[in-house]
Chain A
């Protein structure tokens, strides 16, 4: 496993390591069942705090990329449908959060106040909810035609 830590940059070291391992899992460079270097070994190789590596392994295990087998080591987890779907969902949600933030920022720049924005959100959420439920109940009837 190739990981390179850049020192003196603004991305925290744990994030740098996590992202590189994750990318290698997703790209298939690290294959399911591959054994990762031990915490101690990787920490030594990168000259990075042991606890930082522990935290990275734990986080990636929680995210479903890795698997810590007690007494055996850390392995690349098999790509279960659930973890992949979860990863995808998480990514999409993050993308959504960024878009939402940009939208809010634009609203603020246009002179809307947070209470006004909140009101718009409540209304929009309520509208969207009725829209979605109408569409699901009217599933078999093409939109535009009355049932």
Chain B
């Protein structure tokens, strides 16, 4: 484990009887752009809030560039650009006033850059924040989160309130300013197509656990859909990492992880098959809502595939 970047180890958190996170571990190396994917309620925001030191974890440990937010929240906040999921800002201030208000909190605040952002996002400087549109206030939130040029950036679903053009603008900025300056970026998102183009690595969070994480490109090499004839399949043919099974007449469409290993096995056993490349959203779906009970004649001893 390196001191730089973000490290999450065995994180657990409950709200009352409701366990929101169980044993979440992730290592995000410095300079990486990392996307946290999950449905609503999967635990993304809770993870992020613990990283910022806004709420305590029940157990486990997180560090950001070696700092523990539970002990040293201020130092963490100083070097982190953070945009909350539903960021509220003083509605009586104007964008320009907000920048002047925030600047003294951050020794590294770059006013010229903040204004450059506001101009590109076409945010009126002298309109009260309370009168900005939803999209405008998200853009303002992004701008002020990045204006102190933080080495760590944590954004909770920044794309949610942005229109397609602003999203593209935001992705460009992410690529141009954050990736090339070596910032470590963790952000959560629902927009898988866009994540794929931008993120170095992704993690899929489902019901409080990380069900899969990996480099964006290798994920697509490893998770494949395979079409198989139903006849000739045995319990032995069942893949170790089976994510989804759909029966189409006498053919099965299955989605497996560790596909290269499984394809080698199919070839050895002489089972005719076809391989289909999947999009990131299909991989996500297979992990989150995939079901495997359509596998033919499944012996009860076989375990249903889940990944730790």
- Please report A residues at the B interface, Cβ cutoff 8 Å: 5, 7-14, 40, 43-44, 46-52, 104-105, 108-109, 112-114
Most chain B CB within a 10 A radius of its CB, from A7, A14, A105: A7
A113 to B281, CA, bound (A): 37
Given contacts A8-B281, A12-B220, A114-B267, contact A49 B200 (CB under 8 A): yes
Given contacts A9-B279, A114-B268, contact A47 B197 (CB under 8 A): yes
A49 to B202, CA, bound (A): 13
- Please report B residues at the A interface, Cβ cutoff 8 Å: 33, 168, 171-172, 175-176, 179-180, 192-194, 196-200, 216-217, 220, 267-272, 276-279, 281
Q: Is the CB of B33 within 8 A of A49?
A: yes
Q: Is the CB of B175 within 8 A of A7?
A: no
Q: Is the CB of A108 within 8 A of B179?
A: no
A8 to B280, CA, bound (A): 8
Given contacts A9-B279, A40-B176, A114-B267, contact A108 B272 (CB under 8 A): yes
- Our pick among A5, A40, A108 for the contact of B197 (Cβ within 8 Å) is A5
Q: Is the CB of A40 within 8 A of B172?
A: no
- Interface SS of B by simple majority: helix
Closest to A55 in B: B217
Residues of B within 8 A of A44 (CB): 172, 175-176
Residues of A within 8 A of B196 (CB): 7, 13
Residues of A within 8 A of B194 (CB): 7
- Our pick among A8, A10, A43, A112 for the contact of B179 (Cβ within 8 Å) is A43
A14 to B220, CA, bound (A): 12
- Our pick among A9, A10, A114 for the contact of B270 (Cβ within 8 Å) is A114
A108 to B266, CA, bound (A): 11
Q: Give me 10 other A-B pairs in contact (C-beta within 8 A), A13-B196, A44-B175 excluded.
A: A7-B197, A10-B278, A13-B197, A40-B180, A47-B198, A48-B197, A49-B179, A51-B179, A108-B271, A114-B268
Residues of B within 8 A of A51 (CB): 179, 200
A105 to B281, CA, bound (A): 30
A105 to B274, CA, bound (A): 10
Q: Is the CB of A109 within 8 A of B33?
A: no
Nearest chain B CB to A34 CB, angstrom units:
23
Residues of A within 8 A of B276 (CB): 10
Closest to B167 in A: A47
A116 to B180, CA, bound (A): 54
A-B contact pairs, 22 of them (CB 8 A): A7-B193, A8-B193, A8-B279, A9-B279, A10-B276, A10-B277, A10-B278, A12-B220, A13-B197, A43-B179, A44-B172, A47-B168, A47-B171, A49-B175, A49-B198, A50-B179, A52-B197, A52-B217, A105-B272, A108-B270, A108-B271, A114-B269
A114 to B265, CA, bound (A): 11
Closest to A11 in B: B277
Residues of B within 8 A of A9 (CB): 279
Nearest chain B CB to A3 CB, angstrom units:
13
Nearest chain A CB to B265 CB, angstrom units:
11
Nearest chain B CB to A147 CB, angstrom units:
44
A50 to B185, CA, bound (A): 13
A99 to B135, CA, bound (A): 53
Q: Is the CB of B270 within 8 A of A43?
A: no
Q: Which 8 A-B pairs have the closest CB atoms?
A: A8-B193, A10-B277, A47-B171, A7-B193, A44-B176, A108-B270, A50-B179, A48-B197
Q: Is the CB of B198 within 8 A of A109?
A: no
Q: Is the CB of A109 within 8 A of B199?
A: no
